[in-house]
Amino acid sequence: MLREALKRTPTPLPPSDRMTEADWNALYNQIVHTNLLGRRNCIKKSVSERKRPKKCTYSTVLGESGDGAKLASLNGSRVVLYNVNDETHELEFTLAQSLYPLWTTMSRSMVDGRMNWLAMGHHYAKYHIALSNRGNLIAVALGRSIHIYDLNNPANLDSPVEHVLGENDSLTLPPGVSGYEETRGVIESLEFAENDTLLRVTIGKEPNPNRQTRVRYLGNPPPVWGSNSGQFDAVGLDYWRENIHKIYLDSVALAVTLRDDNKTSFKGLRLLPQSVCRGWSDVPGRFFVAALQNTGVNCYVIAFVSDNDCKVSIWRQLTSREDRISDSWSGLFESAPEEPAISLSMSDAAVVARNREMAKDRWNPVNMPNVTTAHPLLAISDDGKLLVVYEPGAGHSYTFSNGGALYVYSLDFGSPEFKHEANRPAKEQPSQRQQQQPFSASGVSPSVQPWSFLLDIVNVDIENLRVVCKDGESSSSNLPSETRTVYTIRAETAHDIMEWRLA
């Protein structure tokens, strides 16, 4: 019965004589979880107006703390910090003048060969801000300059931490890599990450047409952070004064390390939480998710960069519409008989026909992204099990249309751990019998690929994307001992906040 059900999935099945009952159950459970079959039909969408302070317009630059308790607005060079709960403002100050001196702006514009006023204004006149998780720090960017202010110490607001991209940066590259180019673009977004020990900076308008944007993580976090809650408060202005010049990861440097062809790029790069990846590899390093694009490949990938030699390896490719994976099985639905081969009652026959139609819709290639957009937005849930991708222009007749499409992938690749075969110690190598089965020693079948689903198509541009997970809600079985995580996908636009609740 399970084998017949699994035939309706885009997964190659092993020979029956190699599978035990436990193997079939494990394969079925893995396909169900990896393809989010229990989430696709339990989605509730809501749209609410984006809350703004009374004096703020839709063009006001806003930033919200990670805990949602504080909101910062930027009007000209004035920053106002609000308490979201009681809608009162706690602090107001003026940015340091060194962020936007006129002569510095003109000098950089002239050096880059952009001699006219329009180009100068286009590249250097847009602010971006980000609040830390607890609202004690605020980062402000203009052009290539970044300032970080300590909001808990109003007396020192005139002495922020200052940094200019491309100046005094510290970046480690593998030996022999020579194709890396330092950024010449401008900042397009800021975000604190990993308990405020990293600053994720999106840089746009790069001169390389194949790498028009890059993602750079600034900071120098310890290998394992957050095991002691008291360490969180230690991240302040002193930490950033010491580490703002250190590049933790740079998407262009990673792409050059993977393939030095001046065309390969990692777009929308996001780090996977260290706590989620613990045990995945015996080599120290970091896992990340990004859109890998070059002349031959367009797909979202999970990749690993080693701390030892800074080399990048692709651990898993997530299926996309460019893979043409559907060609090998799309005929299954067309060639399926109208009636079951065995004798069934009319009600049973109707159920079989309905299930086939549902399967055809579920595995339709429209549920996979194209991975060709130049500016994808990626968001990962805190537990590291859900990936949401927003592709501007997708789902519309014209790529330059407002809005785009959102897709959901599962990053839960099995239990207890997802380990790379090459990095597994010899004592953990699977036995001969296990090698004949579709599962590795970690319980993961390499033939099972996550098949995303189309969450929604929107007609407005999304500015920020987050995935919030909440545990402890009862499952549909109404058993008090069974709970499941509820994910809320939150997308912010200029006017509204859209939320999709996956129960």
Q: What confidence tens digit (pLDDT) does each residue in 175-197 have?
A: 778 888 899 999 999 999 999 99
Residue with the larger pLDDT of the pair 353 and 64: 64
Which tokens belong to 151?
């909001």
Rounded CA-CA distance 242/197 in Å is 12
Q: Is 473 among the domain residues?
A: no
* Closest to 369 in 3D by CA, of 411, 307, 317, 319: 319
**H-helix or E-strand spanning residue 352:** helix 346-362
Pairing of strands 127-131, 137-142: antiparallel
- Give the mean pLDDT of 266-275: 92
What radius of gyration do the chain's Cα atoms show? 25
Q: Across the strands, what pairs with 78?
A: 75, 94
Rounded CA-CA distance 189/204 in Å is 9
Q: Is the pLDDT of residue 445 over 90?
A: no
- Residue type for position 275: S
Q: Is 85 among the domain residues?
A: yes
**What helix, strand, coil percent values describe the chain, rounded to 5?**
25, 30, 45
Burial 453-463 (b: 16+ CB within 10 A, else e): bbbbebeeebe
* Closest to 216 in 3D by CA, of 242, 239, 184: 184
Q: Which residue has the tokens 């922020």?
A: 160
Residue with the larger pLDDT of the pair 113 and 5: 5
The range of the structural domain enclosing residue 212 comes to: 65-281+294-299
Q: Is 417 among the domain residues?
A: no
User: pLDDT band for position 464 (50/70/90)?
Assistant: very high
pLDDT at residue 287 in the model: 94
What is the rounded average pLDDT for all residues in the chain? Answer: 79
pLDDT at residue 351 in the model: 67
Count Cα atoms within 13 angstroms, Cβ side, for 477: 7
Rounded CA-CA distance 312/340 in Å is 49
- Give the mean pLDDT of 216-234: 65
- Give the mean pLDDT of 69-93: 84
pLDDT at residue 427 in the model: 38
For residues 165 and 183, is the Cβ–Cβ distance under 8 A?
yes
Query: Which of 39-48, 141-150, 301-310, 359-368 is the least confident region?
Result: 359-368
- Give the mean pLDDT of 105-118: 47
pLDDT at residue 362 in the model: 84
- Chain length of the chain: 503
Rounded CA-CA distance 251/480 in Å is 45
> Is the previous residue joined to 416 through a cis bond, with omega within 30 degrees of 0?
yes
pLDDT at residue 344 in the model: 47
**H-helix or E-strand spanning residue 286:** strand 285-293
> Alpha carbon of 333 to those of 10, 356, 362: distances in Å?
12, 7, 12
pLDDT at residue 323 in the model: 61
Task: Write the DSSP symbol of residue 167.
Answer: S
Q: What confidence tens digit (pLDDT) does each residue in 356-396 have?
A: 677 778 888 889 999 988 899 999 998 889 999 999 999 88
Torsion of Cα atoms, 205 then 206 then 209 then 211, to 10°: -110
Q: Is the pLDDT of residue 407 over 50?
A: yes
* Closest to 192 in 3D by CA, of 126, 155, 148: 148
Rounded CA-CA distance 130/462 in Å is 17
Q: Is the pLDDT of residue 203 over 80?
A: yes
User: pLDDT band for position 463 (50/70/90)?
Assistant: very high
pLDDT at residue 102 in the model: 52
Q: Is the pLDDT of residue 440 over 70?
A: no
pLDDT at residue 342 in the model: 42
User: pLDDT band for position 459 (50/70/90)?
Assistant: very high
Q: Is the pLDDT of residue 303 over 90?
A: yes
Q: Which residue has the tokens 């689903």?
A: 453
Rounded CA-CA distance 443/33 in Å is 13
Q: Is the pLDDT of residue 123 over 60?
A: no
Torsion of Cα atoms, 394 then 398 then 399 then 403, to 10°: -60
Rounded CA-CA distance 269/249 in Å is 10
Rounded CA-CA distance 244/167 in Å is 11
Rounded CA-CA distance 49/182 in Å is 40
Q: Is 137 among the domain residues?
A: yes
Query: Which of 190-199, 248-257, 339-348 is the least confident region?
Result: 339-348
Rounded CA-CA distance 326/70 in Å is 47
* Closest to 452 in 3D by CA, of 352, 376, 351, 350: 376
Handedness of CA 247, 252, 254, 256 (dihedral sign): negative
pLDDT at residue 6 in the model: 84
Q: Is the pLDDT of residue 134 over 70?
A: yes
Long-range contacts of residues 140-143, Cβ cutoff 8 Å, at least 24 apart: 140/74, 140/79, 140/95, 140/99, 141/187, 141/190, 141/201, 142/99, 142/100, 142/187, 143/105, 143/108, 143/186, 143/187
User: pLDDT band for position 128 (50/70/90)?
Assistant: very high
Q: Is the pLDDT of residue 214 over 90?
A: yes
Rounded CA-CA distance 374/213 in Å is 8
pLDDT-above-90 percentage for the chain: 35
Q: Is 485 among the domain residues?
A: no
* DSSP labels, 176-212: T--------SEEEEEEEETTTTEEEEEEE--S-TT-S
Number of domains in the chain: 1
pLDDT-above-70 percentage for the chain: 76
* DSSP labels, 489-502: EEEE-SSEEEEEEE
Q: Is 5 among the domain residues?
A: no
Residue with the larger pLDDT of the pair 112 and 253: 253
